Amino acid sequence: MSFTWNIPALDGSIAGEELLLAFDRGRPARVLILPAWFDEANKLRRFTVEVMRRLDAAGIDSFLPDLPGCNESLAPLADQTLEGWRRAADIAATSFAATHVLAIRAGAMLAPAGLPGWHYAPQSGPKLLRGMIRARTIAAREAGISETSDELLAIGRSEGLTLGGWHLGAAMIAALEIAEPALAPGQHGIAQLELGGPGLWLRAEPAEDAAQADALATIIIEALA
């Protein structure tokens, strides 16, 4: 079910309004979902919602907020920062009265330290950037243009960079170069191997896998039982 949620601006100006997908029936267990980013967000969107449906069927509420600049957001992605997204994740946790967090891939870099929960196949900032920059250099080479990863990163740090169609600002790139997901107390990593199949973010086209959605939901349902 679709709702909206608001992120108050730091300067007290009008709050940003963002989309929220939620299964909220006022139940005791309330899981904040922090989705994968960028291209992986598209590839994992259906999988993510399929996990939420399974949690709902098991009596667990879940909340999937759009971060500013992502999915349906009207905020420019290029203006977003890692700190801003961490703040948004913290505000989301409070707004929805979340009791747990399920952070997916790069979303693990935003997991609020105060919530117990899970990091599913967490992705670090340097690896995320490396993959996106590599896709750009390979595409450039096919087009007969010579770009190196080092040159692109230098441009990214000073001016921002468009990678795979995603326009990242300089502050975001600089922050991602050193950002690592960290398991806070009560948070556990879930490796892809535990889901019994290859990660769906690897696919060239978005796909789904009911068995993997079952496996991830079951880990959470059993932990909350």
Which window, 29-37, 63-71, 73-81, 202-210, contacts another protein (CB under 8 A)? Answer: 202-210
Supply 34's token pair: 């922090």
Q: Exposed (0-12), middle (13-18) or buried (19+): which is 106, by Cβ within 10 Å?
A: buried
Give CA–CA dist 26/3, Å, rounded.
15
The least CB distance from residue 88 to another protein, in Å, is 23
The correct pick among 137, 153, 155, 170 for binding another protein (CB under 8 A) is: 137
Q: Would you count residue 42 as binding another protein (CB under 8 A)?
A: no
The least CB distance from residue 97 to another protein, in Å, is 28
Q: Would you count residue 202 as binding another protein (CB under 8 A)?
A: yes
- In terms of CB distance, is 96 or 118 closer to another protein? 118
Sole residue written with tokens 């900032």:
125
Q: Would you count residue 25 as binding another protein (CB under 8 A)?
A: no
Give CA–CA dist 60/27, Å, rounded.
7
Supply 46's token pair: 């259906």
The correct pick among 65, 107, 122, 156 for binding another protein (CB under 8 A) is: 122
Which window, 12-20, 24-32, 49-57, 138-146, contacts another protein (CB under 8 A)? Answer: 138-146
Site string for another protein, 156-185 (x = CB under 8 A): --------x----------------x-x--
Give CA–CA dist 201/74, Å, rounded.
25
Q: Would you count residue 7 as binding another protein (CB under 8 A)?
A: no
The correct pick among 149, 178, 196, 210 for binding another protein (CB under 8 A) is: 149
- In terms of CB distance, is 138 or 210 closer to another protein? 138
Give CA–CA dist 71/38, Å, rounded.
9
The correct pick among 8, 126, 189, 196 for binding another protein (CB under 8 A) is: 189
Note the residues at the interface with another protein (CB under 8 A): 39, 119, 122, 127, 130-132, 134-135, 137-139, 141-142, 148-149, 164, 181, 183, 189, 191, 198-199, 202-205, 207
